[in-house]
Amino acid sequence: MTTPNHRLKRARELRGWSQAKVARLIGTDAATVSRWERGLFSPTPYFREKLCELFQTNADALGLLGNSLEEPPPLPEQQDLFASMLKRAESAHHAHALWQYAYVQALRGQHEDARELGEMSLNTFEQLGNTENAQTVRAWLQTLPPAPPSPPSSSKRRSTGWLKGGGLLLLLLCLGGVLLFSLIAKQGDAFGKQIVSTPLESTPTATITAVKAQANNSISSTPALPKALILPQTLTPGACEPDSIGYRCTLNLQLNTPSPVQFQWVIDSCDFGARLNPTQGTGTTGQPVQVIVYIPYSQQHGSMHFTFTQGTNSTTAEVLWRGGQ
């Protein structure tokens, strides 16, 4: 069964050190110091000497001997005052030891360790109320060289270099833009001068007049299609004759022009059940074309749409059916 080394642990805690701190000062790792304090194994003679030198005491006081690992028995209650005095004396002794070790580290050039040990000694003296020694240690700490500034990180150096490179790139882009703008301006001036210096070709007035006359002649040679006329424009039962299949109505399709013109006609749509005879045909303007329409008796209202075409022109006409009249 392992027995923890309470003495080594107490000596470390009285100085306010961590296991990592002790390990760094004697050249080992924190896990090893932890195993020593837990009593898993004892330090070798080399590290035993290092620990005694660090804590300024002997191996027995640090519990480094096999028969001294047990927790020391507590003092009787009547000796509490004396124990407190001993504890203060021990703390003062440790404060002096810390200062001495800090001084040695400063002589070795280990200024960072010296500053840390000196600050621990200063804190201990201040806790004990020893203002004289505290002032002495504080003045000595001020003589140490300041800690060097930490070097900039690689990312910061990279960002600085990038900024410098970016500034150079921006400058080059600006210069290139100015040169390009100047070149475009010069080419624009030369092109403008070329346009001004080139005379416009004159268009003969006679040619324009001939084109206009030809257009007028072509327009006048095409006869305008007159408006279609369908009679009657509204069909009613009274205007039709009853028949076996419905009302028989007659429509007259006619176009009137000064001179005879051929045209075509066709029934486009019929939204009720009427039948036409014929449904399309040709005619001559001024002469009516007769179309027969059969309308069922059941149809009340509706409309028929006709389209008249002459050449490329066309027009439409509508006929209404009112069965209720």
Note the helical H segments in the chain. Answer: 6-14, 19-26, 30-37, 45-55, 80-107, 111-128, 131-142, 154-197, 205-221
C-alpha–C-alpha distance, residues 28 and 114, integer Å: 19
pLDDT tens digits for 253-278?
786 777 788 878 888 878 877 887 89
Number of structural domains, the chain? 2
Over residues 209-213, mean pLDDT: 46
Residue 274 included in any domain: yes
Residues 138, 235: one domain?
Answer: no
Residue 180 included in any domain: no
Residue 189 included in any domain: no
Q: What percent of the chain has pLDDT over 90?
A: 19
Residues 121, 241: one domain?
Answer: no
Residue 151 included in any domain: no
**Residue 82 belongs to what domain range?**
6-142
pLDDT tens digits for 115-128?
888 888 888 888 88
Residue 280 included in any domain: yes
C-alpha–C-alpha distance, residues 30 and 11, integer Å: 16
128-142, 161-175, 283-297, range with greatest mean pLDDT: 128-142
**36 or 211, higher pLDDT:** 36
Here the CATH number for the domain that contains residue 292 is 2.60.40.10
pLDDT tens digits for 9-68?
999 999 999 999 999 999 999 999 999 999 998 999 999 999 999 999 999 999 998 654
Residue 122 included in any domain: yes
Q: Where among 126, 142, 158 does a domain terminate? A: 142
Transcribe 73-133 into DSSP letters: PPPPGGGHHHHHHHHHHHHHHHHHHHHHHHHHHHHTT-HHHHHHHHHHHHHHHHHHT-HHH
Q: Where among 142, 157, 180 does a domain terminate? A: 142
Q: Quick check: 186 pLDDT over 90?
A: no
Q: Where among 142, 160, 177 does a domain terminate? A: 142
pLDDT tens digits for 165-181?
455 566 566 566 656 65
Residues 251, 131: one domain?
Answer: no
Residue 20 included in any domain: yes
Which amino acid would we find at residue 255?
Answer: L
Over residues 292-302, mean pLDDT: 83
Residue 184 included in any domain: no
Residues 129, 233: one domain?
Answer: no
Q: Quick check: 80 pLDDT over 70?
A: no
Confidence of residue 69 (pLDDT cuts 50, 70, 90): very low
pLDDT tens digits for 225-254?
567 778 898 878 888 888 877 888 887 878
Residues 134, 234: one domain?
Answer: no
